[in-house]
Amino acid sequence: MNTEKVSYKEAGVDIDAGNEFVEAIKAEVKSTFDANVIGGIGSFAGAYALPSGYREPVLLSATDGVGTKLKLAIESGKLDTVGIDLVAMCVNDLICNFGTPMFFLDYYATGKLVPAEAKAVVSGIAEGCRRSECALIGGETAEMPGMYSEKDFDLAGFAVGIAERSEMDRMSRVKAGQALLALPSSGIHSNGFSLVRKLLLEKLQMNLEEDFEGRPLIDVLLEPTRIYVPEFKAHRDKIVALAHITGGGIVENLPRVLPEGIHAVVERSRIRTLPIFDFMSRYVDEEEMYRTFNMGVGMIWVVEAADAQALVSGTDAYVIGELTAGERGVTLV
């Protein structure tokens, strides 16, 4: 029997690289802190004081990943934006329940920890937290040789927010005659990338560095998911309900805020589709496109018809339809 001693590093886990990574991200993480963060980096758990001013505070939580968009980031070596996507996918869900994001945690698992690459990812997460005005109070980095190849890694995000209990039930406020406002997406966001990769890279064999509408294709594909928290905070008093348009598109996400007896009519001609969706539509059935992608609409607000024009004038939102009496669901006309 071979009695030669084996180290953890020889097994594929580099503790020194982990420590280097933690030191490298401290400034980015601290830049997201607000007055409610208790303690600093390095404790066993993150601590956050509940904000005051709530009569019946309710904590909300959301978790998500980035999906196979991450594969494109890894293949291209462009790692500084997927962290924004990670935060966006969580906090955009929180606000749909009228929750204000408070703090965020991340989980980063990789086959081999490369501090510079991990720092780029966490820098993106910190940027997403700054955009959504929430604190990055904790995370976990796992180096798992044998579980992942050396280049591969995966991300998971966890957001916690706070809401007034009386404001959480949005569905009971949704009525026929209200207007539907679309908030533009910044791009594909973080859904449908298995289809994107199948079509663009396998079927059409496109080069990620080739020009698409004046930009490298990879930059178009990795455009980070828009975070809608600032717009929600600025106009929440005029928003009846919100739907985050993710996987399943408008037809599957908008009904999640509709009560029985209310039908959404969306005018397809009003939707400001993005060039990347127009291009893919040449090769994918229209129905499949609308069931997979946001098609240029990242979020939909339900608002009173009387408030629609003021919101359109004060934001980049635009009217795409209305609510009517009928079977719960969505019709694209």
Instruction: Enumerate the β-bridge partners of residue 243.
Output: 300
pLDDT of 222 strictly over 80: yes
Q: In 3-state terms, what secondary structure has residue 290?
A: helix
pLDDT of 11 strictly over 70: no
Sign of CA dihedral 311, 312, 313, 315: positive
Q: Which of 330, 321, 333, 314 is nearest to 177 (CA)?
A: 321
Say how far apart CA 236 and CA 231 lie, in whole Å: 8
> Beta strands of the chain (E only): which ranges?
37-38, 47-48, 57-64, 100-110, 135-143, 153-164, 179-184, 211-212, 215-216, 241-244, 262-266, 297-303, 318-325, 329-332
pLDDT of 124 strictly over 90: yes
pLDDT top residue among 91 and 150: 91
Specify the pLDDT at position 19. Answer: 79
Q: In 3-state terms, what secondary structure has residue 299?
A: strand
Specify the pLDDT at position 305. Answer: 97
- Condensed to tens digits (0 to 9), the pLDDT of residues 160-212 reads 999 999 999 999 999 999 999 999 999 999 999 999 999 999 999 999 999 99
Strand 329-332, strand 262-266: pairing? parallel
**What b/e sequence results for 151-164 when a residue is b if at least 16 CB atoms lie within 10 Å of its CB, and e otherwise?**
eebbbbbbbbbbbe
Specify the pLDDT at position 149. Answer: 86
* Burial group, residue 203, by CB count within 10 angstroms (0-12, 13-18, 19+): exposed
235, 311 Cβ separation under 8 angstroms: yes
Say how far apart CA 165 and CA 58 lie, in whole Å: 6
Q: What is the pTM of this model?
A: 0.94
Average pLDDT over every residue of 228-236: 97
* Angle, CA of 316, 309 and 166, to the nearest 5°: 85
DSSP annotation of 32: T
Residues with Cβ within 8 Å of 53's Cβ and at least 6 positions away in sequence, in order, are: none
Say how far apart CA 202 and CA 305 lie, in whole Å: 45
Amino acid identity for residue 294 in this structure? N
